Amino acid sequence: MQMPKKIRECHYTILIQWSEEDRCFVVSLPEWGEFCHTHGDTYEEAFKNAREVLELLIESALGKGEPLPEPKTLGKTFHIAIV
């Protein structure tokens, strides 16, 4: 599914972690609150579900005329040393 341009331009955090307890990948969307989660049996499925949830959250907020949360971004470019 192609996301509308406005949604694709939003740079929100997607945190994907394996959960031994749940035996799946758990996704957190921190800009949207501490209880905003989804999951997937594979990393790819978890990421796909996260994008779908983000799309729904953004569309819902825009549809209600609510402001979108400010994306958390890194302040500086990372420099990687290869040893």
Q: What is the pLDDT of residue 45?
A: 98
37-66 pLDDT, tens digit each: 999 999 999 999 999 999 999 999 999 999
Show the tokens assigned to 30.
């921190």
Q: What is the pLDDT of residue 1?
A: 42
9-35 pLDDT, tens digit each: 778 999 999 999 999 999 999 999 999
Distance CA 31, CA 82 (A): 32
Distance CA 53, CA 51 (A): 5
Q: Can you tell me the mean pLDDT for 62-71?
A: 94
